Structure formats: structure tokens, C-alpha cells
Chains A and B, each alone.
Chain A
Amino acid sequence: MALKNLHSVKLDKGKCVGCTGCLKRCPTEAIRIRKGRATIIDELCIDCGECIRVCQQHAKIAVTDPLSSINRFKYKIALPAPALFGQFKKLTDVNSISRGLLRMGFNYVFDVSRGADIASRAIMEKLKNPSCPHPLISSACPAVLRLIQVRFPELIDNVVDVRSPMEIAASAAKREFCEKNGVKPEEVGCFFITPCAAKATAIRNPIGHKKSAVDGAISIIEIYGLLSSQLRRDRMGDSDDLDTRTHGGTALGIGWARSGGESLAIEEEEALAVDGIENVSKVLEEIENDRLPDLKYFEGLACDGGCVGGPIVFENVYIARNRIRKLVVDLPKEKISDAVTLEEVKQLGNDVCFDKPIEPIEAMKLDQDFSEALKKMDQIEEIRKKLPGLDCGSCGSPTCQALAEDIVRGYARELDCLFLLKQKVTDMAKQMVEVSELTRE
């Protein structure tokens, strides 16, 4: 268990009351309540952010970078996620977002939707190869990739080896800015404006490549207020003379913000888009069982609705999703193959593809030794039979099965179960009565 995941979900101990809210909702059963507070098992956490969303006490916090962190660099580039475009009312001019970000202190803006365009083109090329695995699985959502590492390692080879739009955008932006202005890459910082914490983890600990081209992630909710007021200024006609919108994406690139947008962009008929981490799990299970033999592409996004439904955005997912839909309708209809040439993809070369295999995370394994694992499985079964099967969570483990496993793995005791404890107390009380009656005689 030496794996360092460097997760982006942290607990505010002062706010956590040790209830079972997050415990019961974590899709990978990565949370335990210990000593009255929630703790996260690093190996199992996939950074989906479900616990951030469900915590009534707001004790689960996404760890992202503050806006002030951009000052670490002489030149600052903003990489707004396509989801950002769904956050604001009456946004008719996509350029106004770029202008707002420039006024906030960034020197350059490169839309991640442009990165999505490039990623789309690269994926389309991969799909043309008749020997590519079926279905190819999208690499865009880091939480889904981690879910595959933990729960579906046999599907790792199906993941398309194309980097995420965020990474591609960062590489392209840095290169372009440096060439244009004759500055050194180390003087330039790229900051992703993110709807989720999983992206922050993916920057610190990339999946499929050694190093991230992104220098930090700032949450949408952090800049929401500031950017809103900039947009208001913009609407009042104060557009300064800012040089903007040299690198926006197509409508299809912006569409990546919604579930199904990626499938639409890559023009694959036999594609399936699934959103919500539980739904993604279920469909991956179907793929594992080979129930979808005709499927060529699988787009799985951890958040309901897609990236617009991220845990650290301001707007309600359905409202934001609808705004993206309307925005995209009004933009020019440009095909990916017209917007991105193959030469462009080739020029970016290694910055587009993976340079390192995705490793499975063996968090489910009971023991390195097979016979020991078998023995433990028997013990787990024995203990589980004793437990009430109510999955109440009072013991601090999400289900009775999970408690049985925790006991065998050495993280919990049988008497953590309130029902077993009650039984034990009752038995002891009976014994005491018996003893006292004996001594009376």
C-alpha cells in the first residue's frame, strides 16, 4: 500500500460530524468513519467528487490552487474548460470570457475547447486503425480512468492513448505563446479553470504520461464572482482593446462540456456516452462481459450531465447544460476535420499521445499470496455471516461486507458493529446475573 495518489479531496475535520452521508455514497467504498471523522482510503479514491457534492456539512473540500498562485509565473495563460461557458447568464459572445480572464491578470487565453478539437481529430485517426481495440474508451475523464485502474484493470488496454484536451491545450498554448513572444517556457504558467477536483489530481499525478503541461488548476467556483463582474463590464461596452479569441475551439469542441459532446465531435456512429459514476460503472461491467460487441467508442464521464455537472462549478448542471446547448447552436458549424489538420496533430507530436502505460491499481486484492488471499476470503465470509446485513454504516464501514473485509485486513474489529456489541453486552449482563445468583446460594 505504498501508492501515492495525491488526491484532491480533503476533509475539514472541524466540520465533519462523522455521519454516514459520504460513506454510503462513495462509488468505490473508499470512505470509512474512524474516530468520529471521515477518512479516505487513498488506493480506492478516484477523485470523482461525489463526497464533496453530498456532504451536508460541507466538510469535504476540493483541493485546487488559489487564483493568486498564477503570480508564481511571469507570464500567465488561462485554459478555460468548455464547462465554464455554461456558467453565465446571457453569454452570447464566447470572446467575452477571454476578455474577462485577461482583465483578471492572465496574459493569454487558450480555450480547452481548442484542445478538445485537436483531441477529437487524434481520436478519429486512432479509430481508423482496424487493429484498435473495441470499444476504444475515452481518456478525457480522470475519475473514470482511475475507476478503470482500480475496478476494471482488464479494460486498461481499451483506453485511447490520446491525452486529455486540457493537456493538449496546455502544450499548444505554451509553445505558441513562447514562439510569439520570444520567452522561455519556464517563465510561462498554464492554469486550467476546472469544474472538478479530479483534474487537479491529474495535473499532479498524470495518468498515461509522465509529466503534465499544466501548472495549476483553479476552480470555476473560485473565479466565478470575479469573472461575472468582468462580464458585466464587458456587456456595458467596455471592451478595452484587448487582443482576444485567437484560439477558441469549434462548437463541437465546446460541446465536450456535455455528456455526448465528445462522441458527436469524433463523428462515430457506434459510440456510447454515459454520465454519472454509477452508470459508468454499470456500463463498464457490460463491456467487460462483452455485451456490446458492436461498440466502437465509449465516452464515460463521472459527473451527471458531463463536465458541466462538476462538483466545483457554480451553476446547476441542467441549466448549465442547456446553456451550452443553446450556445453551440448559435456558433458556426465547423467540422473537426476542417478545423484541425493532420499536420497540426503531427506537429504537436508527443504532446498529444501517451508516453507511459496506465498501470492497474491493486486495491481490491486481499493478499499478494494467492493461498493467503483464499484464506482471507473464507474468514471474510465467516465474519459476514455473523453481521446483521443491514448495511447501516454505524460501524464506520459502508456495508457489512466491507466491515468483514476491514476486520480481516486489520482495520476494524468485530465489536465496531453496534449489533454485535449489543449482543455482547446482553450476554455479559446475563452472565453477571447468573454469577450473582450463584454467589447468593
Chain B
Amino acid sequence: MSILKEEFPVAAMDFVTAGEASAQIKRMLKKLGVDPGVIRRLAIACYEAEINLVIHSDGGKLMLELNPDNVTLISEDVGPGIPDIDLAMSEGYSTASDDVRMMGFGAGMGLANMARNADHFNIESIVGEGTKIEMVFDIK
């Protein structure tokens, strides 16, 4: 089966390009004719993931893998990691700085929002090293 793999680097604290990777991924999926409902869920999760990389990591990347049955989105970063994943997953919990919150980010809905929109969600994190999130979206 044909598989498409793409990688999008995301720089830390770069608000100029923040959101561009998600926009590109969205455009790509529309061109491939992926179901609008799936694109909507993926767009939300993908944007959250990208903004998380910008705000919380020291830099990372989004990886997109595609086959006729599903889309996998992986967010991988180098950074502080998450000490208590369960706490971080609870809605409203956020470690974002006031500056970032002023920009309308960091409301503490990110991880929960990603998990809600993906069909499969997995997160691994090592404190002081980084975080890897894997999300799968079923196409059919």
C-alpha cells in the first residue's frame, strides 16, 4: 500500500511560523481527499501539538504518516519532558507562562483536546529529555 511520510520541524518560541506546519498538513490531506470530519479532528489535534512544541519544548518535529486506512501524527521533541502525565492530561492544568497565556495559548486544554480528537492516543515522556506523542486517526 502506498504510504506517505512527511516531516515538519517546529522551532521553540517561534511565533512567526507557529501554525504553518499544521496548515500545510491540512492542505495536503484536503488534496488527498481525506474525509472532512477526519480532517477537522486532525486539524485540531495537529495545531495543539504544534503549539505545544513551540511553547513547551526546546524544538521538535511533527511527523505525518499516511496510508489508506489511517493517518498517524507523531509529535516528538527535545525538552523538559512532563513529570506527571496524568496531571498534564487533566483539563485546565497548564505550565505555560503568563506571556504565552496573554497570546491566547496555554489554557491547559491541549493534551486532553488531542486525546479527545484522536482515535488512538499515546504519550511517553522522560523528564529532562523530551516527549513523544503518537496519535492515530482512522480514515474509514
| Stretch touching chain B among A179-187, A245-253, A285-293, A386-394 | A285-293
Tally of contact residues, A, Cβ under 8 A: 25
The answer to whether residues A154 and B40 also contact, given A290-B113, A291-B47, A291-B104 and a CB cut-off of 8 A, is yes
| Stretch touching chain B among A10-18, A220-228, A328-336, A368-376 | A368-376
Residues of B within 8 Å of A154, CB to CB, are 36-37, 39-40, 43
Residues of B within 8 Å of A234, CB to CB, are none
Q: Are A370 and B19 in contact (CB under 8 A)?
A: no
Q: Are A373 and B31 in contact (CB under 8 A)?
A: yes
Q: Are A288 and B2 in contact (CB under 8 A)?
A: no
Q: Are B37 and A374 in contact (CB under 8 A)?
A: no
Output the least CB separation between A113 and chain B (Å).
Answer: 35
Q: Are B36 and A371 in contact (CB under 8 A)?
A: no
The answer to whether residues A289 and B22 also contact, given A154-B37, A154-B40, A377-B4 and a CB cut-off of 8 A, is yes
Q: Does B132 contact A (CB under 8 A)?
A: no
Residues of A within 8 Å of B66, CB to CB, are 374
Output the least CB separation between B67 and chain A (Å).
Answer: 9
The answer to whether residues A367 and B19 also contact, given A290-B47, A377-B4, A377-B28 and a CB cut-off of 8 A, is no
Q: Does B13 contact A (CB under 8 A)?
A: no
Q: Does A128 contact B (CB under 8 A)?
A: no
Secondary structure type dominating chain A contacts: helix
Output the least CB separation between A384 and chain B (Å).
Answer: 13
Secondary structure type dominating chain B contacts: helix
User: Which of these, B4, B43, B48, contacts A288 with CB under 8 Å?
Assistant: B43
Interface residues of B in 35-87 (CB under 8 A from A): 36-37, 39-40, 43-44, 47-48, 66, 68
User: Which of these, B23, B37, B43, B68, contacts A371 with CB under 8 Å?
Assistant: B68
Q: Mark A387-427, 1 if CB is under 8 A from B, else 0.
A: 00000000000000000000000000000000000000000
- Nearest A residue (CB) for B44: A290
Residues of B within 8 Å of A370, CB to CB, are 2, 32-33, 68
Q: Does A365 contact B (CB under 8 A)?
A: yes
Q: How far is the CA of A155 from the CA of B107 in the complex (A)?
A: 24
Output the least CB separation between B40 and chain A (Å).
Answer: 4
Residues of A within 8 Å of B28, CB to CB, are 377
Q: How far is the CA of A156 from the CA of B36 in the complex (A)?
A: 10
Q: Can you show 9 pairs from A to B with CB atoms below 8 A apart?
A: A154-B36, A154-B40, A364-B30, A365-B31, A367-B33, A373-B33, A377-B4, A377-B31, A377-B32
Hey, which bits of chain B sit against chain A, CB under 8 A?
Answer: 1-2, 4, 19, 22-23, 26-28, 30-33, 36-37, 39-40, 43-44, 47-48, 66, 68, 104, 109, 113
